[in-house]
Amino acid sequence: MLLLFAVASSPPFSPRRTTRAGPDFLLLASVAPGSLVDPRLRVLGVDAAPGEPGRFLVRWAGDAPALFVWFETPLRGAFSDNGFAFVPGVAPGPEASLMWTAAPDAGAPPSAAELVARLFVWSLFDVTAGVDLTKKRQ
List the CATH number of the domain containing 103: 2.60.40.10
Distance CA 102, CA 91 (A): 30
pLDDT value of position 104: 92
| Residue 33 within a domain | no
Domain count, the chain: 1
pLDDT value of position 70: 92
Distance CA 73, CA 115 (A): 8
Q: Which domain holds residue 51?
A: 42-129
pTM: 0.73
Q: Which of 123, 124, 12, 9 is nearest to 57 (CA)?
A: 12
pLDDT value of position 17: 40
pLDDT in tens, the chain (138 residues): 433 333 333 333 344 443 445 555 666 677 776 788 999 999 999 999 999 999 999 999 998 888 889 999 999 999 998 888 888 766 445 678 899 999 999 899 999 999 999 999 989 998 887 777 666 654
